Amino acid sequence: MKKVEERKMKRMKDFSKLEEKLGVKFSNIELLRQALVHRSYLNEHPRFPLGHNERLEFLGDAVLELIVTEYLYKNYLKPEGDLTNWRASLVKSEQLAKVAEELNIGDYLFLSKGESQDKTPMARQTILANALEAIIGAIYLDQGAKTSREFIKRNIIVNLDNILANHLYNDPKSNFQEISQEKTGITPVYKVVKESGPDHQRVFTVGVWLGEKMIAKGNGSSKQKAQIEAAKSALKTKGW
């Protein structure tokens, strides 16, 4: 445990390698450090000098959505529905977690012992995606809109070509609804069947029904994400 704390303290003093990865040199390094503090860490270390990263995540989420929306609007003369699906593909948790892994953000996170040992893919994905959004919030506060825009283009919007080339922007909920209405004349209904986990990391289980029959279930850190996973599973179950 002592060695773990020593490594944590070392990371508190030196974020230069992470800054190199991010391509951003912070004026106020405390903003970057706070972006990496998970709420669970403070439960075990109440005297830690910084707060958790959720406020920065809130800001970063808004900055990310605005900059991605602006880029799509300026560069593609497409209907609103297409642009919405493309944006969703760029900013979804799964995509953001991949970017966070490429930037080695996980090596710098301040997590509780329990969270550090939790190898559940969904839990890890959510923590990484949230941390990346918090870092975007920190960049915005420290460097402003221009640097934030450059960071997002370099690390997130750069994935758009692959998303478009492989049609990764298709919305599973829309697809399942269109096909089910065409084949059965029934509109799918989604219902939450279970909620679990602590307040700061809720996991929702959502079922999707066609009439009286539940076709599939999906899990997610929000009801919307769980619905998407349920729709994906339903498409596979039905062979559509």
- Catalytic positions are 61, 133
DSSP structure string for 5-53: HHHHHHHHH--HHHHHHHT---SSHHHHHHHTB-HHHHHH-TT-SS--S
Burial class (CB within 10 angstroms; exposed 0-12, middle 13-18, buried 19+) of 118: middle
Structure token pair of residue 236 = 């596979």
Q: What is the CA radius of gyration of the chain?
A: 20
CA 204 to chain centre: 15
Q: Which helix (H) or strand (E) holds 192?
A: strand 189-196
- For residues 124-150, one letter each, b for 16 or more C-beta atoms within 10 angstroms of the residue's C-beta and e for the rest, the string is bbbbbbbbbbbbbbbbbbbbeeeebbe
Under 8 Å CB-to-CB from 225, ≥6 apart: which residues?
A: 92, 93, 204
